[in-house]
Amino acid sequence: MADFFNIKARQAAAAQASSSKAPTTKQEPNRLQPWVEKYRPKTLSEVTAQDHTIQVLSRTLQSSNLPHMLFYGPPGTGKTSTILALAKQLYGPELMKSRVLELNASDERGISIVRAKVKDFARQQLSAAPSYNVMVEDKDAEGGVKQVKYRDKYPCPPFKIVVLDEADSMTQDAQSALRRTMETYSKMTRFCLVCNYVTRIIDPLASRCSKFRFKSLDQGSAVTRVEDIAKLEGVRLAPGVSEELVRIADGDLRKAITFLQSAARLVGNNKPAKGKKRKVVEDEEEEDDRMDVDSAPADSDVVTLKTVQDIAGVIPERTMDDLENAVLSSRNKKNIPYAAIANVVQEMIAEGWSAAQTVGQLFERIMFDERVNDVQKMKIVGYFSETDKRLVDGADEHLAILDLGLRISGVLCQG
Amino acid sequence: MALLVDKHRPRNLESLSYHPELSDRLRALAQSGDFPHLLVYGPSGAGKKTRIVATLKELYGPGVEKIKIDARVFQTTTNRKLEFNIVASVYHLEITPSDVGNYDRVVIQDLLKEVAQTQQVDLSAKQRFKVVVINEADHLTRDAQAALRRTMEKYSPNLRLILVANSTSNIIAPIRSRTLLVRVAAPTEGEICDVLRVVGKKEGWRDVEGLNARIAKESGRNLRRALLMYEAVHAQNENLTENTPIPPPDWEALISQIAQQIVQERSPARLLQVRSELYDLLSHCIDPTTIIKTLTWKLIPKTPEEIQPEVVKWAAFYEHRCRLGSKVIFHLEAFVAKYMRVYESHLMGLDFD
């Protein structure tokens, strides 16, 4: 605003705005950028725990030929990160814009878009790669920053890449519209489909691609990654928190990182604006390391198990214990203890715990409980499925949970 | 004269009487300058809205309290015109998209985009972003939620959302993972008593401990309801004792009367009679879920213990049906008939099935 009368500054700003359609996140201070974006792997070698896929893809980097690709696997395993890192390594910053088209589910992706946008992009002439003499700074080179030839650092192969993220949410029609497009322009365009469920991709498309399965992250590497990020951001974690984060997120690294960021915000770690940071407590914390899930943490700067569970909306063990005990107390008895169950359920509803979460956690407990035999488990699973359906349909939570508890109890007391 | 509920509503984070750790967190978030999207959930009458208003005040100062109501007209793709009310201050907007039913996606897309594309007009404002409070977020359609997902990322420099919901079950996972979940639990009965005492003192009413405790219990840990009951009791009686009856709302009285009738006589004739009463309730805009729930809670104490689980089972079953079906009265009546049948077969000691 202050630059309004300064013609030069305005021209510069306008030039900058028009020349680079850089995403706004770049201009924001880093603090406001989601950590998921900030710590997205920049090269293939940084992608965690997908050794096989990475090995194959790194080889294509040298040979500079690429098949059509289909990446599939559960969310948060690095599918999008891999293809973006690959594209970056292939083309470098200058060519990224003109050689890669990324479409994801939030963009309109009906059949008309496939016909118009994708096809237009696919049949475009290749944009010129920088001539062989263009130099670029290589920051990773051994012995400090060095000038290298752009083409040496980035192979710039003669094709474009279309990334269709979340391709399983594309309609059947849109997918079939792709079939011929993929073949016709295969000379200068490669497609990369990214999806969670490979079964939702129609066969003709799947058979045109080489498939890469991304396996769910193992506990160890996910925990390491979370801890790395925490260290870089200066977030202090109480012992066991990183494991808990990964466990709650179900191997979805993105979710774990998002939770970590929320937790950090909540305990006030990343707000340098606040003057009075409590540093005094640091020494006492050593003795206070033992984790007590239910008591409020003494030191507000450390991310504790409780903070993490709060953010994820996880119901504390003690509440779940109450519920489980009430439900299971009917074993070897004649009657269903209505009053006990009703009390616990009422308490939980008043505390505001979400019913879907309750059902999920109760399921885990009952199904792995050895006091319940297999026949009973079979019946109980049926009730879980029915309750879940009801909740999805928007039925009343109190009645649904109470009903579930009573029915499980009923199954147990017959046996 | 304002109701007690409004008159003594806390206006800032300091004066909130329970959940002190939650207030601290909200204050820390508001002061940090990096305010995330929030999803505030909890049972009704727990103080979700009060906390949000207080947080907004912490964010922007007293300006948020000057609100006006706008009526806006939106046009759907099929050229239908929708009228929609927006409560707004200079700094924030408050909308209830579920008002327009299935067309909520249109409202969300149009309105949020419009808000998000302009920056804060007031340069002296404390924050660069505007806040949009979305009520009843759990009633949003899937389409509308999917539309939100994109908006939340795209316009995050100019816009923060606060979603208010009773439960997170109906909110799609991508939204849940993009927001900071804030759970507001209902106050305990002790906390309600404290509030009642403070309010009573401010009004200069005589304090009757036993009565307060009973009100707290009756209210089902719903503070709004407790305050309304408290006011009603004081308005109707001059001299209060511990045993002064607490007048229940009319609909609740009617439902407990229905429960009484059902248990007394279980016959088709009685069913017919109950039907007209159910119609009466429905025509007074009582939500069918509320009817079935209240009826169940009223019936349970009158029911033999062995068949209580059975009653709950059918209540849950027909409540679900109410959601899916279109004609509510069928399911309400079916529930009543089912109850009569279960009861009767229990008395006769045999199963009809």
pLDDT tens for B147-160 read: 787 777 777 778 88
d(Cα B173, Cα A259) in Å, to the nearest integer? 13
Q: Which of B175, B316, B124 is nearest to A387 (CA)?
A: B316
Q: What mean pLDDT comes out for the span A59-81?
A: 82
Q: What is the pLDDT of residue A26?
A: 39
In a domain, A189, yes or no: yes
The model's confidence at residue B1, banded by pLDDT at 50, 70 and 90, is low
Q: Judging by beta carbons within 10 Å of its beta carbon (0-12, 13-18, 19+), is residue A180 exposed, middle or buried? A: exposed
Place of tokens 């939500």: B287
Size of interface A-B (CB pairs under 8 A): 136
Class of domain B250-347: mainly alpha
DSSP assigned state of B108: H
Q: Which of A41, A127, A35, A32 is closest to A78 using CA atoms? A: A41
Give the highest mean pLDDT range of A9-13, B66-70, B312-316: B312-316
pLDDT band with cut points at 50, 70 and 90 for residue B330: very high
Q: For the ranges A163-172, A293-302, B284-293, which has the lowest average pLDDT?
A: A293-302
Does the pLDDT value for residue A306 go beyond 60? yes
Tokens at B253, concatenated: 């009285």
Q: Which residue did the predictor score with more confidence, A115 or A245? A: A245
In the sheet where B159-165 sits, what is the strand order? B68-75, B81-88, B92-95, B130-134, B159-165, B38-41, B180-183
Instruction: Output the six-digit token pair for A354.
Output: 């979400």
Residue A376 and residue A291 share a domain: no
**Chain B residues in contact with A32 (beta carbon < 8 A):** 34, 156-157
pLDDT at A143 (0 to 100):
58
Please state the domain count of chain A.
3
The model's confidence at residue B317, banded by pLDDT at 50, 70 and 90, is very high
Query: Residue B161 forms beta bridges with which residues?
Result: B132
Give how far the C-alpha of residue B346 lies from the chain's centroid of Cα atoms, to the nearest Å.
37
Residues A276 and A400 in one domain: no
Higher pLDDT, B105 or A25: B105
Residue A52 sits in the same domain as residue A170: yes
User: Cβ of A338 and B292 within 8 Å?
Assistant: no
Q: Which of A296-305, B18-27, B180-189, B300-309 has the lowest mean pLDDT?
A: A296-305
Q: Which of B71, B138, B140 is nearest to B109 (CA)?
A: B140
DSSP line for A118-133 = IHHHHHSPPPPPPPTT
Q: What is the mean pLDDT of residues A229-257?
A: 83
Q: What percent of chain B has pLDDT over 70?
A: 97
Domain with residue A298: its CATH number is 1.10.8.60
Dihedral class, residue A101 (left if φ above 0, else alpha if ψ from -120 to 50, else beta): beta
The last residue of a domain, from among A283, A308, A333 = A308
**Beta strand B81-88 with B92-95: parallel, antiparallel or unpaired?**
antiparallel
Choose the final residue of a domain: A213, A244, A268: A213
Q: Tell me what pLDDT residue B316 has.
A: 92
What integer is the mean pLDDT of A171-194? Answer: 83
What is the average pLDDT across A71-83?
84
- Residues 111 through 140 of chain B touching chain A, CB cutoff 8 Å: 123
Residue A28: the pLDDT is 43
- Is A383 inside a domain boundary? yes
Q: Given pLDDT bands bounded at 50, 70 and 90, which one contains residue A280?
A: very low
Of B31, B43, B123, the CB nearest to A349: B43
> Would you kindly state where each structural domain of chain B is located, as residue ranges?
4-183, 189-236, 250-347
For chain B, where are the E strands, in sequence order? 38-41, 68-75, 81-88, 92-95, 130-134, 159-165, 180-183
pLDDT at A266: 74
Within 8 A of A254 by CB-CB distance, chain B residues are 177
Instruction: Mean pLDDT check: name the lowest of A333-337, A356-360, B9-13.
Output: A333-337
* pLDDT beyond 50 at A235: yes
What would the pLDDT profile of B223-279 be if each residue is shown by its tens digit?
888 888 888 888 887 777 777 788 888 888 999 999 999 999 889 999 999 999 999
Of A32, A313, A349, the CB nearest to B183: A313
A168 and A258, same domain (yes or no): no
Question: Is there a single domain that holds both residue A56 and residue A132?
Answer: yes
Beta carbons of A351 and B185 less than 8 Å apart: yes
Q: Does B197 touch chain A (CB under 8 A)?
A: no
Cα nearest neighbour of B41 on chain A: A352
Residues A321 and A290 in one domain: no
- pLDDT, tens digit, for every residue of A281-301? 333 333 344 444 333 344 456
Kindly state whether residue A150 falls inside one of the protein's structural domains. Answer: yes
Verify whether the Cβ–Cβ distance B168 to A258 is below 8 Å: no
- Phi, psi of A366, rounded to the nearest 5 degrees: -70, -40
pLDDT recorded at residue A139: 62
Token duo for residue A167 = 């391709």
Query: Could you tell me if A295 and A323 lie in one domain?
Result: no
Task: Flag if B316 and A391 touch (Cβ within 8 Å).
Answer: no
Q: Are A260 and A383 found together in one domain?
A: no
Query: CA B287 to CA A364: how far, in whole Å?
Result: 34
Segment among A93-97, A282-286, A327-331 with least mean pLDDT: A282-286
Mutate to test the interface with B, among A235, A255, A295, A354 (most CBs of B within 10 A): A354
The reply to whether residue B186 touches residue A351, judged by beta carbons under 8 angstroms, is yes
What per-residue confidence (pLDDT) applies to A297?
A: 40
- What residue in B sits closest to A107 (Cα-Cα)? B150
Phi and psi, residue B161, nearest 5°: -110, 145
Residue B107 and residue A383: Cα distance in Å, rounded? 38
Calculated CA dihedral for residues A112, A114, A120, A123, nearest 10 degrees:
-140
Pick A406's closest partner by Cβ from B34, B42, B312: B312
Is residue A292 in a domain? Answer: yes
Task: Note whether A275 and A400 are same-domain residues.
Answer: no
Q: Do B316 and A310 touch (CB under 8 A)?
A: no
Q: Cβ–Cβ contacts within 10 Å for residue B340, how many?
A: 19
| B171 → chain A, closest CA residue | A392
B64: how many CB neighbours lie within 10 A of its CB?
19
CB contact under 8 A, B34 and A265: yes
Residues in A touching B21 (Cβ below 8 Å): 296
Domain that residue A106 falls in:
35-213
Do the Cβ atoms of A399 and B36 come within 8 Å?
no
**Nearest-CA distance A173 → chain B (Å):** 20
Rounded to two decimals, the ipTM of the complex is 0.85
Q: How far is B166 from chain A (nearest CA, A)?
A: 8
B338/A contact by beta carbon, under 8 A: no
What is B4-183's CATH number?
A: 3.40.50.300
Query: Among A213, A245, A273, where does a domain finish?
Result: A213
Residues A69 and A85 in one domain: yes
pLDDT, residue A27, reads 41
Mean pLDDT of A40-58: 81
Average pLDDT rounded to a whole number, residues B47-59? 89
How much is the pLDDT for A294? 39
pLDDT of residue A330 exceeding 80, the answer is no
Report the CATH number that the domain containing residue A91 is assigned in CATH: 3.40.50.300
Are A300 and A224 found together in one domain?
Answer: yes
- Residue B165 C-alpha from the chain's centroid: 8
Region of residue A311 (phi > 0: left; psi between -120 and 50: alpha; otherwise: beta):
alpha
Q: What is the CA radius of gyration of chain A?
A: 27
Identify whether A320 is part of a domain. yes
A191 and A287 fall within a common domain = no
Three-state SS at B72:
strand
Chain B hits for A342, CB-CB cut-off 8 Å, are 300
Query: Do the chains contact at B169 and A352, CB–CB below 8 Å?
Result: no
Give CA–CA dist B106/B75, Å, rounded. 8
**Per-residue pLDDT at A298:** 40
B157 has a chain A CB within 8 A of its CB: yes
Looking at residue B158, its amino acid is N
